[in-house]
Structure 1
Amino acid sequence: MTAYVNDEQKKEGAYGKAVKATLAATLAAGMVPAAAAFADEPAEAAEGNDVEVLAATPEQAWKAGNFTAVDNNGKTVVDKVKYDEFKTVEFANDGKAHWVVPTVASLAGDTVSEDLKNKDLYKVTYYKQANGAGAAVAEADFEKTFSAKGDYSVVVEGKADTAYAGQKITINFSVGSKSLKDAKVYQVAEDKKDVSDKTFTYTGKAIKFDGTDLNLEIGGEALEYGTDYTAEVYPLNEGNKADALNAGTYLAKIAGVGNYAGENITLKFDVEAMDLASAAIKLELNAADKVYVDAATVDGVSILGDTVIECTSRPDSWYGNTQSVGEYVFKISAKQDSKNVKGSVSKTEIVATNSVDVLYDGVALTDKTIDLAKKQSFDLDKLVVTKKGEPQTKLDPKKDYAVEVYDADGKKVDAASLKKAGKWTVKVVVNAKATEYAYAGEASAKVTVYSDTVNTTNVFFKQDGKVVDAVEKDYDGADLLKALSATVLDSEGKALTAGTDYTVVAQKKVDGKFIDVDSIVDKGEYQLVVKSDTYNVGNEVLKITVKEVVADTLRIAPEFFLETDKVSYTGEALVPTVQYQAGTDKDGKAVWKDLPADTYKLSYKYDKDGKAPSEDVKEIKEVGKYSVTVADAADDNFAVSGTPKNNVFSVTAEKDFVDVPNTEWYYQYVKNANKVGYMTGIGGTKLFAPNEATSRAMAATVLSRMAGGTIGNGTGIFDNPFTDVTYTGVEATDPWYATYVLWAADTRIVTGYEQADGTAQFRPEANVTRAEFCVMMQRYAKAIGKDVALEAGEADKILAKYDDGAAVADWAKEAVAWAVKNEIFGGYSLLNPAGDITRAEMAKMTTEFQAAPLTK
């Protein structure tokens, strides 16, 4: 041990007296269990112990020291940093939890190392805000809290009965926004998952950056406009916002939202000029004079203002009258000053005496759906081309027109393809020249060929394997899509294969239309649809509604209070958790759930003297009376309204136990264990001794209290297998633990230590290790009828995740793995199986496993 004393104390040889006086004062104030009191001289000062006396105060040594910390995965994030030189440790927002674990203080010129993880010497507290502000974070909430974006801090403080009492360090750390630095702009395709198109071309129509025309992607994954980001578009070197319309360079100012909040980037993108050579230009010739063009459009947008159009070839018979038939060739070129179109192209327009009708089976050719299972087919012989309005005047199929077939990608294929399932286009084109320009024209139709047509009665939508007609649920944060599926039968009742024969797609209604989505989580209208290129599955849909949670019955979480209307003063700002009533259980009791912190806003009124609160304050901190008001924070999945039932309370200096501050991770567990009667104070005092080791007798006692008389022989009279446990059945003369120990032995929750003479000892005063208590807990669970079985090899897999998993003894492996699996043990990267279990740790394990005693 290293002790720091001042020069005056050294001169008078006052070290021992000073330490004793400090401990005596602390004990008198009720801060240390009696078991922790020292003899006349401190053990550390006895002969033969290494005591280093340095001429510096603890504060001086602390502030001159270097500090080291790792993250929760053991990676060094603070490496011997001076007391006043800490910088915020920044973690990326990758969906995983990250926090800082202070490890070592190197003091007195690195000659002394202090283990900051030693709970007997140091108190370590995590907070939801930087600089030790905001609510303390319980160990059980680390994974949830520190996986979200935010600024946090960890404070290490020397405990009252140690050399560095009151000395502290604060390390701030932050979990940042997800980064937008690798975001890229892409053109939204019909396939919402296709993010490959990074080129943008002038079309004459505004290209909106709202997730419908332009969107962002990172690593091939599309972001969601409004949920992940918002965008403002500016033409380069211009100050006013504008959609990307004309060709040119634009700047998109991106502001992150949600998990990307705080991320602001600017992306440059170019809208290229329309290349006339590849544009689908439609010309409209002047009726009186065919060499002039009245209109030139691309997808309905005029390009006349950006082009020069001249007729470069006309029929020999043309003399400036409307009757001149033949081919007219036009050269369409971009104007010199046009920035929206480029290049040139020649386009041939045919003028014929007559137009045509294209008929299929005697009627105008239209889109067709073919079901091969019904022996249907598209018969090219049924195609007929006639003079318009005169069906009896037919063109010669051998020379006057041609029939072409194209696949879904526009590639020309053999006509035999129409006999296979797929999506095809049949195009009929008149050879005007072959008819000496008596006829001209073309027509096309989409022909969808299916292997079979599925009746709507053969499409079954399911939720968790059960057939449903519609789904309606309140928002709960879960992805409903994972529970939904569809079964499709062909016309003969044979089940088709999902993923091969058909796909199931979720869609959400946005701005009046349904768009494909990857999940069904947030409030809104959705539908599930079945799609197939092979089978005609019709338009059967499953209507889905996710409703916002109406949170209008509120309360402040009881765990916030020391008593019903009291909160312990800590010197730090206190933030209550608001809960809403989420229905009732099978016994009619209200079920309460925490409201997500970002769904509501809190405001406070305060009165120092404990009268009706009237002064507006920003935080709950000082002793006095407070009232809390809750308001809805945003348009989200929760509609928050109402006044919490227990919104008026006092901050008081009173505590359940004077050595259990409510800033400690174990505060709530100790409070719960005491409240339900599992554990009490030391000797009936206001001391709990949270960091003291727990005896075997106490472990048996706690487990007996948990059972509440529901298991055992029911007589209260037991055989005594132990030579070191006195038991007469008379409570007044037996040790306080006798009945509890023998009950635990009778129910096979505990066993003894076999001696050489064949007898057995219980060793009631011996400490219980963490692994031993896991064994007792597993046996208790089995005794009350809980399933404790693990799958073959499961224990090894669970323990392998811990740095010291191999240190768990064979006799304890299954029990320790069971405790980890049930989330009552193993919150850090180390299990420490051979370490003594503390009273605070026992309070956590027992209350996490079973919140209240069992009843008959």
Structure 2
Amino acid sequence: MTACTNNGGSRARRAVTAALVGVLSVGAAPMVALATGAAPASGDVSLQAATSDTVWNGTVAYDGEDRATFTYNGKAQGTEAVSLTPQGTEMSDVELEYYPADSSTPGTDEYYYFYVELDSASSTTWMNGTESVTYKNAKGASVDVKGNAVAKPSAIGDYAVMVGRWNGSGWDLVKSAYTFSIKAQSLDDANLFEINSSDLEDTSDRDFAYNGENGCDQVSTFLSTLGVELGGTVLDEGAGNDYTVQIYELNGKSPLSGSDWLVPGTQYVAKLSGEGVYDGLSVDKTFTYGKLNLASANIETNLFTAASGNVPSASSSLADIVSKINGVTIPGNFQGAEGLRIAIKCTGVPSGSTAGAKGTYTFELSANGEAGAKYVEGTKEVTVTYADFQADVDFTGCADGIGASDTSMTTDLSKDKPNYFDPSEIKVTYIDGSTKELDEDQYDVTITDANGVEVDADALKQPGEYTVKVSVNYTNDYDQLIAGEESFKVTVNYGTVDGSNIYVSYDGKNVPATGFDTPYTGEDMLDGIAVKSVKGDKTFVEGTDYTVEVTRLGSDGKWVAADEIVNAGDYKVTVKGISWKGTETFEFEVTPVTLTSAVPANPFAVADDVKLDGNIPSTNTVYYLNHTGEELVPELSFKDAKGNVWTLDADSYEATYEVRDGVAWDAADLKDEGVYHIKSVKITDKNFVASSTLALPNGTYIVVTNTRSFVDVPNDAWYAEAVATAKQQGYIGGVGGSNLFAPMRNMSRADVVCVLYRMAGGTIDNEGMTDAEKTYISDFTDVDEGAYYAKAVSWAVKTGVARGYGDTFGTSREVTTEEFATMLHRYATLIGNADSVDTDAVLAGVADGDQVSSYARDAVAWAVENGYVASNGNLIDPQGSVYRARVVTIAVRYQPEQLHVIL
């Protein structure tokens, strides 16, 4: 994890000095160069200027590997060149700028990288006199760079990263180039689905089956209903779009023609061939073309009336009984409507009656013999009603604008006066010589929501989709049966909501429709994103009226759901309506931070103006690292251009070092004792990019030494690790501000409370005390408010960590082991982690445990039990004075890291 703190401003400096430009301009071999970033129409690039061997033979640091592969995502991407080390060890690294290969003229004697789209057939060759700039192909062979310069690419293709200096009339180029490719997204994860004509974005139906509709099993018809989605996006079919598709029999060698027929219950292969951004890709998707399953089919039946002259019976046909199967009208377009593929059997007549009586009849539908079984499976029992009269349901009066043939309506709640559906206005009639109307108690009205749950009429004023169903099964006074059933769909929403009604903000600022970018912070930016949707005087509620989905662009070019916005990359916030129609997407990018300088984050000591040897002046900053005998991989602390400080884990970068050997610098591992520079740093954490200024500035050195933290603390001392930690955490400093620790010197009460105060997050400084702080030391004659320890004493007395002796604090008195254990125990109690122990049992286990004073027994037992004192079989020495090495060892054992907020 990375951390960022703001330590004030600093400005990044360009690494190209006037002197360096002068050196690179002197002496040259011929160099072919372009007058602009665009290649000429034909022929080799003409000779324009002399090249400098320092550039031609230079070494380039890249952000990425040679021959890297990127996945197409519609955005500019590719390997970048970071810096150039010109030939000659006396030359400084040069930071490279990106040149977009447009009509603008590069700055003379400035250093750039740009891109060439590789084209082996191109007549444009990038050369140095008679020598071509080359790259390594997959077999490791050198190949000439040919092709035209382009802006940072986003299209599928192969590219070279060119590096050079613009000399005023042409390019001085580095002789070799890195290459990379942008490949199409894989089609392997594509899914087939059946197109929903009423919702073209609905990809949920992944099953394919014969539905009985005339011609549905012909290949051409099937293809017209076949959709393909990839990563939640519906792809476009057809040449020049996303893909084309052909259907094969399983293990078939040739595709089926559009006039061929699919056989239900058989497996087939849909061969997808990529087009456009998927060009050159293909994938086979196996699917089963299923049979019509009657058991799960949605079957609507007819109503029989005496007036029609038809009576349900064993001889009734499929078209007599059934009106629709899965929405396909019978007979209409349904194949085998007269029973060719579906058999029908009467299984029940009205209870207590004989055939021909009014009432409910039951029929069983199944496959019609062996021929029908090739297309149809399962059975389904359905019912039909034989009545004297058919009920006519009239919805026209239920809302304005409903016509006699309408079966649905939409209520727009955003209107001043919404047009609500009123089920109490439903009229049910039948004709017996004349039109007769039924009363409300003579038919049933049920209202269900989109999930099939029954609701009341008030729900029709709330957002949602509803079905109003009228069922009639009424016997009049003349023993005549009136029957029938009609449904009406009611959609209630706030109409269409678009970008003018939706506001997405980040940290209180609206995100523009064109998107925005924000730098990486290490924090979850999702916490700062807010969504508001308003139409008229209605403020919509997330979860009730709309949903919010956050997605991130993956390395494979696909958008995937994200539950945080932290790492650098491209993100989308998609707002989709529930109570309104519409979907709006807001895009933004988290950009990586550019780091400009680096120093060790956790040296055991830092010194300024240190003279290291006769050849290095005294105006140096030296970072001391401890020699361990192993290669050192220190955390580095980086600054960005705004002066923010970032501490990166060692696995977030790759650093190389050079050691001073006499007057020269040689590349070396950071291991043996000596004086080092950071030679280069390659950032591997994608949240950061490095400028070439990352090498340590001149006058800054790393010294690997066998002295861990202070010059009088041997590396092999038993307390060396604790002293180093205490110094690093700020618990203690050198004696009198020096690099001497004086490990065996006894500590006074004033210095001990300073250690505890620093552990608690306090800072020892010379700033004045507040009146409140002064009250806690006002009675002590031996505590001057200007003393370095005054604030620490005031804090210790206030919190109860330490007490005075009447009118003195005892600042110069030496502290015994049991006294320090008592103070530390009070401090632990203040924090809330001073667990109780069995005092008698613990002290009985130490040889001098019986020498502990009564007031200190609980505190000392607690310290012993937790290993802070008397560990590894040592004695407590309760009345012995604690020396500096022992104090910091006990303190670090208890709390190895400083608190961030003063208690």
Fold shared per TM-score above 0.5: no
Higher gyration radius (CA):
2
TM-score range normalised by the length of the shorter chain: 0.3 to 0.5
Higher RCO, Cα 8 Å, sep 6+: 2
What is the TM-score of this pair, normalised by structure 2? 0.38
